[in-house]
Amino acid sequence: MSILELENVRIRNDADGRELVHGVSFALQPGGVVGIVGESGSGKTLTCRAALGILPEHFVVSDGRIRLDGQDVAGLTRRQWTALRGTTISAVFQDPASYLNPSLTVGSQIAEVIRVKRGAKRRAARERAIELLAAVRLRDPAVVYGQYPHELSGGMLQRSLIAAAIAAEPRVLIADEATTALDVTVQAEILDLLADLRRDTGLALVVVSHDLAVVAQLCERVLVMRAGEVVEQGRVEQVLHQPRHEYTRLLIEEHEAYGLERYLVAS
């Protein structure tokens, strides 16, 4: 059974009546990886936010269906959503610093997730948080535990945020431009980390990126979005080697300079 399934999802801004996402469908199996690519403003983040139950104010899923672990999310109360977020579905976004409280240590924020979402005692939560910091390959995890966000580099912050996102053992992790702000080497390390988490824990991934090389490296299937429409979707090798849509061809041309081939050959 799919862990996350979107069926013809449409998203509308009720403040002005505009529809911004015009029908997105995909099914993600446990341990699967789907990519979403497309130009800025094409509706990638709104689609993810709908799956997380965190659409901006006035935005609604106006049609279609979202199923999380088999459950239709349409009727969920705020409290039920809160219980699912972190434990079933979780996310990391660009700009990790803005998701951490600058006045609390990184470790205590991860431990808090484990206490609240998993009901762990203080000491067990601390131990688990240090394990997680090690799992995201931060050196000296016990030291990092006690550091404040401003003491860490962008790459270390993003790793810490991934640790927080997986702390309550979700089944699905959405990475929305999660590596975009990082330099190329760090970006590659974080992508490796995500691939390993998927392999080792069966975590399913939704990877949003404007960078086709990122999607080529990580994903099995990909959706190409433009202006709220999915113009093309399918297996990564198929879509990136034999694009059917002119827009996909343009995206690929733009990315050839970044060495897309190298990832396709490896996958």
Ligand X SMILES: Nc1ncnc2c1ncn2[C@@H]1O[C@H](COP(=O)(O)OP(=O)(O)OP(=O)(O)O)[C@@H](O)[C@H]1O
Smallest gap, in angstroms, from Cβ of residue 76 to Mg ion? Answer: 23
Smallest gap, in angstroms, from Cβ of residue 16 to ligand X? Answer: 9
Among 1, 40, 79, 266, binds ligand X (CB under 6 A): 40
By beta-carbon distance, which residue lies closest to Mg ion?
A: 45
Smallest gap, in angstroms, from Cβ of residue 156 to ligand X? Answer: 23
Are residues 76 and 50 in contact, defined by beta-carbon separation less than 8 angstroms?
A: no
Distances in whole angstroms, Cα of residue 122 to Cα of each of 85, 130, 196, 216: 21, 13, 28, 41
Among 85, 210, 221, 226, binds ligand X (CB under 6 A): 210
Residues 6+ apart with CB under 8 A from 87: 117, 118, 168, 169, 170
Q: Cβ closer to ligand X: 134 or 181?
A: 181
Smallest gap, in angstroms, from Cβ of residue 201 to ligand X? Answer: 27
Distance of alpha carbon 183 from the chain centroid: 19
Among 2, 7, 19, 20, binds ligand X (CB under 6 A): 20
Q: Would you call 163 exposed, middle or buried from its count of C-beta atoms within 10 A (0-12, 13-18, 19+)? A: buried
Residue 134 engages ligand X in binding (rule: CB under 6 A): no
Q: Which range, of 42-50, 58-66, 140-148, 190-198, touches Mg ion by CB under 5 A?
A: 42-50
Token pair recorded at residue 247: 């827009």
Q: Cβ closer to ligand X: 58 or 249?
A: 58
Give the separation between CA 267 and CA 256, rounded to whole angstroms.
Answer: 16
Residues 6+ apart with CB under 8 A from 184: none
Angle between helix axes 122-135 and 154-166 (nearest 10 degrees) is 130
Give the separation between CA 254 and CA 234, rounded to whole angstroms.
Answer: 20
For residue 208, list its beta bridge partners.
Answer: 36, 176
Residue 42 engages ligand X in binding (rule: CB under 6 A): yes
Residue 43 engages ligand X in binding (rule: CB under 6 A): yes
Site for Mg ion in 43-72 (CB under 5 A): 44-45
Q: Cβ closer to ligand X: 42 or 158?
A: 42
Smallest gap, in angstroms, from Cβ of residue 185 to Mg ion? Answer: 24
Binding residues with ligand X: total (CB under 6 A): 11
Residues 6+ apart with CB under 8 A from 200: none
Largest CA-CA distance found in the chain, in angstroms, rounded: 56
Token pair recorded at residue 144: 């990092």
Smallest gap, in angstroms, from Cβ of residue 58 to Mg ion? Answer: 18
Residue 179 engages ligand X in binding (rule: CB under 6 A): no
Are residues 76 and 70 in contact, defined by beta-carbon separation less than 8 angstroms?
A: no
Q: Which range, of 38-46, 116-124, 189-197, 247-255, touches ligand X by CB under 6 A?
A: 38-46
Smallest gap, in angstroms, from Cβ of residue 175 to Mg ion? Answer: 12
Residue 56 engages ligand X in binding (rule: CB under 6 A): yes
User: Closest Cα partner for 227 from 245, 241, 215?
Assistant: 245
Interacting residue ranges for ligand X, rule: CB under 6 A: 20, 38, 40-46, 56, 210
Interacting residue ranges for Mg ion, rule: CB under 5 A: 44-45
